[in-house]
Structure 1
């Protein structure tokens, strides 16, 4: 039962092939043609979303460069698209794997750390000791802040993958028990699964937004 429950997250078992990771590139085929239909509803709505994200990320980064928010908007778009793909049947959920989430989080965190400690060394040292900390507690605060800083890419990756796995596991578990449920309760089971699917849609949006916002906040600390 446990092997069947977790088999939907195995890249090599959906279609007995190892190319399921190519689901992350489906957006390159679907999304670009939609922008040629100008002014389409999709382009208008997406422009409003990106403009709102740009204004919010610009405040968080406190950067004077115009294109500083482009990487975070692209990160939000990529994660959101992969999260949505996982809600469709027979499509591999790549954002539920640490191989993808850690690949997104670790290089960004490393680049922030390298830039911060190279260009703003004293500024990075001041972040290790919060303002108003008593002198006797400073060594402990430096240790705690250093550990919390080191585990940031891991927490980003685990947060995204765990939230994606949790809802999919619940949907899979309910779907596997449908054969043993009395026919009088099938309608209730279907309603519950629809509600869970709506919840998973909201989680897909929220988690991609949280990942992008936390990455933006981490970048603002090195300036």
Structure 2
């Protein structure tokens, strides 16, 4: 009787061991599939963002060409400002999506990020040109230089800038251009060299420069009083 019982226990232990191994294999397979699917979803999302960036860059280039062809004809100012407002809305939406991918999903693409920096730079230069051409243009430019890798205050400063803009009296005229100095980007390096950016975060609002973390209230006042 005891011999039979011991044999049964050995069989049970052997079956249990096989079940554990089988369960481990299934769990590992499901985990690997989940990781792969997640990577594919992230890559597809990043590819879509990059395509959208390219499309907006083409719009910016077209507007720049129109400015040249019309030889700075101010009669087109209403058209320029209307189209630029649309571009700014799409540009900011893409920036939010990129931040979401990096901060919440932990997925980034240096190439796509660089393309977005190019879009930021081209959009700013176009906006600046239109402001010079159109005397009634009330836009206020906010240039935000940050470093996601080596700046403890940059994330908070970026959030403060957005909240300050959203609560400012002239919020519809405030244009924010953010440049990541922590990546390899020729256009960011050019802007930082031209504007003598030596620390992050640095925020330029109109003609005023602010180095380091600035409160939301002070940022809002600066935006409302910018020249």
Same fold (TM over 0.5): no
Greater relative contact order, per chain length (Cα 8 Å cut-off, separation 6+): 1
Q: Which has the larger radius of gyration?
A: 2
**What's the TM-score, normalizing by structure 2?**
0.27
If each structure's helix is expressed as a fraction of its own residues, which one has the higher value? Answer: 1
**What's the TM-score, normalizing by structure 1?**
0.27
